[in-house]
Structure formats: C-alpha cells, structure tokens
Chains A and B, each alone.
Chain A
Amino acid sequence: MRVYIKVFASLRNKYPEVNDLNPMEMHLDKGISLAELISLLDFKQEEVQIALVNGLKKSLDFKLVEEEAIISLFPPIGGG
C-alpha cells in the first residue's frame, strides 16, 4: 500500500526535506495503525499531537487501509 507522509513544524527536525510540496512516499502493509507508523518514523507517540488522514483527524489506533492516502503529522501547535 502506497501512502504519502507530510510532517510539519518541529517534526521536520528529523525529516528536514519533507513538506507539503515534497511528501515522503512510503510502502506499508495494509492495516498498519497510525501509532505503528509513528514508531516506524522514529517519533515518540507524544511528539505527534495531531494526525490527519486525507485531511481528517484520526486517533492513533486508526488503521490505514486506503491506497494513496496522505498522512499529515503535527506536534502540539497553536496560534491565532
């Protein structure tokens, strides 16, 4: 299953080249959870505050099954 990963803000310290215009392509087993993906990416679970799958917020036990999904990961952020 092919997916595209986008990381933002301080999560880019680990992946400085990955952004909205340059997502990271990954091939994953169908059914992998967001929590497992976060570990696979070498992040601690608490580093990722918000995970979106195709722009919709999902909990970390959400299982990825959709081909070509876009996964956006954020640390705690805010503003206004």
Chain B
Amino acid sequence: MENGYMNKWLKINLSTKEISDFNFPEEILRKFIGGKGIATHFLWNYALKLEKKGINIKDMDALSPENVLVFATGPITGTRSPNSGRHHVMALKSPLTGSIGSGNSGGKWGAKLKFAGYDGIVVAGKANLPTYLTIVNGNAELHDAQEIWGMNSLDTSNWLKEKHELKRAGISCIGPAGENLVPMAVIMNEVHRAVGRTGLGAVMGSKYFKAILVEGDAKPKIAKQADFDDKVKEHVEKLKENGVTGEGLPTYGTAVLVNIINQNGLLPTKNWQTGVNENAELISGETLTDKYLINKHPCWGCVVACGRKSKVEEGPYKLAYTEGPEYESIWALGGSTNINDMGAVVRANHYCDLYGIDPISVGSSIAAAMELNEKGFIPKEDLQGMEVDFGNADAVVELTWMAAFRQGLGYWIGEGSKKMCQHYGAPDLSMEVKGLEMPAYDPRGAKGIGLNYATANRGGCHVTGYTIAAEILGDVDRFTTEGKAELTKIFQDFTSIVNSSVNCLFLTFALGLDEYAEMIGPVTGWDVDTDELLKTGERITNLERMIINKLGFSGKDDTLPKRLLEEKMPEGPSEGQTVDLETMKQEYYELRGWHDGVPSLEKLEELGLTR
C-alpha cells in the first residue's frame, strides 16, 4: 500500500519469546495517525484488557511484566519530508510518575525502523535473561544480551554494530541506569539521542530488555508522489528562510535560549528560588559555540541541525568528544544548580548519555538536594563528605553518575525529586508536577507554560504545549492569564499531531497546521484539512487523559508546586509574580469539555472515543 506506512507492526512477548506481526485498520490510523497517537490508542485498549483480567492498573507496578512498551513511528517518519528521523515511545505507566510513560527522540532510529520494514514495536512481558532484538529487512530475532548487560550506551552501540556487521544500523538501548531500574532512566539511540522523560529506560530494564537494532532497505511509499515532492521543496525553503530554523538553531543550538530566558527573568536558579541567574552567560549557547563546539550534528533527514558535537579542551572535565548539551540539560545541570561551569555541564551531560539518565530530572533533583542541604534537611551521614551546595560543579558531575549507579545520595536523586524531598521531610522543595521534574521556564514569568505544566498528561513537561514560543519568543503578553487556556489547548493538540506524524517539533517555528495537512495528505492519500488535524490532536490528548484518569490522576493533580503558586518571584523582570493557576485551569477545563480533569461524555462522543 502506498500510504507512508510500512503497514506492519511487530509484537514481542518477552516472557514467552513469541514474535508476531499485526497492523491497525486504516480507520484507526486516520483517527490517531501514528507515533504518540497510535501508541495511545494501543495503550487504551491494552489497559482495558488488563482490567478484564482483573488487574487494577492504578495499583500495577510500572516495573512489572504487565507494563508494556510501544515504539512508534508515523506516516511522515522516514520520508523525504524534512526532519523525519524521529520516533515516539510510550508505556502504560511511568516508574517515575505513575502517570503515562511518554517520550520522543531525535536521531535516525525512527527512519531506520521503517527501513527495516515496521511502523512500530510492542514489547510486553519480561525476559528471564538479558535480551536484545534485531530487525533487519523484515526479519525480527531475539538474542542473548548477557555479554552487553552492564555496558554503557556507546559500548553497547559499538558492540551490536560489530557483532551484526551493520555499521550504519540504528541502535536503541538502555545504559546502566535503566538496568539499575532508576526511575528516571532514558532509552538512548545513536549514543547521544534520548527518549528522555518519564523513565522509560527503567521499564526496558525491568523487562531485561537491553537494545533494539534496526536496519534495512525498505522505504515508505508515498500516495501522491508529485504533490508530496512539491510540498517537501516548499517546506524546506520555508525552514531555510525562517530566522529560527534557518539561522538561530543551526548556529547556536537550543542553548541559544539560556540568555533570552534569563534576560526575561524566568531561568529557574537555585532550585527555582529565583528566575535570575547572574552568570547565565557562562552557560549560554554563545559560550557553547565559542569554546566547546566541534561541529553541528543533524538528525536523519534534518535541514535545521540544532544538534551539537562538542568537547572540553582543558580543566578537570576535559573530554575529547561528546554531543550536546541541549538547553534543558544546560539549565538543569548548570543553571538550577547555579554552577555556571560549562565544562562541568558538558561532562555531566556526557554521563547522562553514557549511563542513560534524564538530564532534566537528574539536574533538577540535584538542585533540590542542594536546597534540602542548604536548609539542613539532609543528615550529615547521608552526604558522605560531599559538599552538596549550590555552585559546586564537582558535586553535580559526581552526583549525576552516582544517580545512574544508585550510589550514596545518588540513590535518592535517581528516585526523583518528589520521593527524595518526601524522604527528607520537605515535600514542598520538590519542583515537579505529577512527579515529573519541570523544565527550564519559571511560569511566574510566562503564565501559559504554567498551565501547560499543570495539565500535561505526562507531568511537568514543556514540549506537550510549548507556549514559550508565543509568550517569550512571540508577541503574546507573558504575564496575563487571559487567553492562556486557549493558547495552551491549541499548542497541546497541535503538538499531538507533530508527535504522531512523527517529525520534529522544531519544524513548528516555521511550519503551521496548514503545512502539516499538506504533508500528511499526499503521504497517506487522505483528504485531510486543518480542522480534521486539530480534532485528531484533541482526540489524542483526550484519550491520553482517559488513560491517566484510570491511573488515578484527576483535577487535583493538575497543579503546580506551592512555590510557584504562593511565593512571589523575588527579583528581576518577573519580580512580584506568582501563577494564578486556578483561573486558567477552570477556563481550560471548560474549553476542553472536562470536569475536574476528566473528559465529559459529550466530549468523548464528539471525538469518537466512546464504544
């Protein structure tokens, strides 16, 4: 079939070693597209099946064999449409949050999975010994992974490529953090790209599932090739002409945001005690470019190339080669901890890549530990002589690997800031939503992103609905709450389309819904318009919400840390601000057709989500 899909999914049961193919009917594909949408559809039905078996998913252990992983691409992935090497991964439950597990990654693995002949993979059960999967030209096989269990992402990747004599294969794997079941472990691919959030690496680890190698020569077939080719050309031109995608991101990477966010006074510093970082310049994109950059490193099929190849030339954190760091990693490891030492950030980020741990969650949790220590909550014996203080670069570098290996205080850092701050008796110092550490924008300085953090299904996340594009980088008033409900809803539903297509969210700096309809239409052969797409995005957001409702989350969980609701920003351009969340939230629920965080029956009927 010529519809952009490979029209084949793989299902593996690691407990029984059964491998089988399946596919989704076209009407379901049109309702959920692919990627995040189709994975959410699968997880909803899977949740219903578990319930029929008498398993209450609210009480289910995220690290039990009953949890399931879904690796998904979409119709756009692996085509000549720009920036389409990405893939999405989901789990019914995140070990970090107890909410849904979800993450999206760059690299080439998504495209390579399609070249290997599959749109996606479902991984269920638990192996009795470490196992990995290869899919080469439609042939899927499970292998013994005992020899690579314990290896970091670089060694794993090299070993697999050599063993199977496939030097250009796509390798997705976990590092030691995933094996050690650290709840903030990531799934890495191409060594330096991550499915970063909600601890999906620990779900892989719990299944004794180390890696997936994909390679092949198949190509997705396009329904209307000539129309598609025209649009690809147009879209590439738009991306090159756009100031953000054509110049800002390629030249400085995502780290270009450090200075502008700090100049606006919303760069969370000292575990969100302030939004002003006096030395942000030292960890900025400009500094990274001047002193640490080797070259750009684009993902597969990317015309933007925000990825960085970097090095640390001298000093204690000297490093010949790594990739990144991204804006979020720089902020979490260097800004929130107030170390402002780029060499240390590059080194700590390198550990995150090698050992497979989420830099946002680990950096935020280290910063939380620093505030816990500052306020005297951590007993001396737990510090084991370490100076866990704001500004101590060595502590950040050490605690990063210690979290991956569950060493010393690293144990609690790896458990995430929520559990750690509860353990040390100061839960209000944990800067997370639904257990997921928030990223690098203090919503006291941009109210819409606060509503997005509060309502994002996977927890405190920016890329569910990136209102910063409008509030800081665009012309929307950042301090008002007015209109932020609608802004957040549109950003969230549009993002669901991007993550289901699957391609890169950064395209949306230059391409809008019209262009997405122009891409998805010719690829699939469907006559889609922007209204249908937005409705599809809304359907995906709502179905994901129905899953988290089943996992026990509702309106009470759509909230923000007390600090952001009650403590006024102490200084800088956002001084005096708090987040009036309740007003925005009620308006948002009304727009969504939700009651207390739960979709109404009318809304579900409208979206075709009732049975």
Contact = CB atoms under 8 A, between A and B. Distances in A.
A1 B506 CA distance: 41
A79 B247 contact: no
Contacts of A8: 256, 259-260, 263, 286
A4 B418 CA distance: 41
A20 B259 CA distance: 8
A10 B251 contact: yes
A20 B257 contact: no
Contact of B254 (A54, A72, A79): A79
A40 interface: no
A56 B573 contact: yes
A35 to B, nearest CB: 16
B597 interface: no
Contacts of A74: 259-260
B276 to A, nearest CB: 9
Interface in B271-288: 279-282, 284-286
Contacts of A78: 244-245, 248-249, 256-257, 469, 473, 506, 509
A40 to B, nearest CB: 20
B243 A76 contact: yes
Given A20-B280, A55-B263, A75 B572 contact: no
A44 B256 CA distance: 21
A77 B286 contact: no
B279 A21 contact: yes
Interface string A39-80: 000000000011010111100000000000000101111111
A12 B251 CA distance: 12
B572 A55 contact: yes
Contacts of B3: none
A80 B244 contact: no
A54 B265 CA distance: 10
B573 A77 contact: no
Interface in B225-265: 242-245, 247-249, 251-257, 259-260, 262-265
Contacts of A20: 259, 262-263, 280-281, 284
B494 interface: no
A54 B280 CA distance: 16
Nearest to B326: A79
A28 interface: no
A19 interface: yes
B306 to A, nearest CB: 7
A50 B281 contact: no
A52 B473 CA distance: 11
Nearest to A74: B260
B542 interface: no
B247 A75 contact: yes
Interface string A1-17: 00000101110100000
Interface stretch (B385-393, B460-468, B603-611): B460-468
A77 B281 contact: no
B265 A55 contact: yes
B365 interface: no
Contacts of B326: 79
Interface centre among A10, A55, A78, by most chain B C-beta atoms within 10 angstroms, is A78
By size class, the interface of chain A is 20 to 34
B166 interface: no
Contact of B247 (A10, A50, A80): A10
Given A19-B286, A75-B248, A79-B306, A52 B573 contact: yes
Contact of B257 (A19, A21, A77): A77
Contacts of B463: 80
Given A20-B281, A80-B463, A80-B466, A52 B263 contact: yes
B559 interface: no
A8 B505 CA distance: 24
Nearest to B251: A10
Contacts of B282: 21
A76 B244 contact: yes
A6 B263 contact: yes
Contact of A80 (B243, B279, B285, B505): B505
A80 B509 CA distance: 11
A46 to B, nearest CB: 9
A55 B573 CA distance: 5
Nearest to A70: B263
B573 A9 contact: no
A80 B263 contact: no
A79 B255 contact: yes
A12 B252 CA distance: 12
Nearest to A19: B281
B474 to A, nearest CB: 9
A50 B260 contact: yes
A56 B572 CA distance: 10
B148 to A, nearest CB: 33
A77 B244 contact: yes
A9 B212 CA distance: 39
Interface centre among B263, B265, B469, by most chain A C-beta atoms within 10 angstroms, is B263
B400 interface: no
A10 B249 CA distance: 11
B256 A79 contact: yes
Given A72-B263, A78-B509, A9 B252 contact: yes
B594 interface: no
Contacts of B262: 20
Nearest to B473: A78
Nearest to A76: B243
A9 B286 contact: yes
A53 to B, nearest CB: 9
Nearest to B263: A72
14 contacts: A10-B247, A19-B281, A19-B286, A20-B259, A21-B281, A21-B282, A55-B265, A72-B263, A74-B260, A77-B244, A77-B260, A78-B509, A79-B256, A79-B257
Interface of B: 242-245, 247-249, 251-257, 259-260, 262-265, 279-282, 284-286, 306, 326-328, 462-463, 466, 468-469, 473, 475, 478, 505-506, 509, 572-574
Given A55-B265, A57-B475, 8 more contacts: A6-B263, A8-B259, A9-B251, A10-B247, A10-B248, A77-B473, A79-B248, A79-B253
* The 3 residue pairs across chains A and B that have the minimum distance between CB atoms: A55-B573, A76-B243, A79-B254
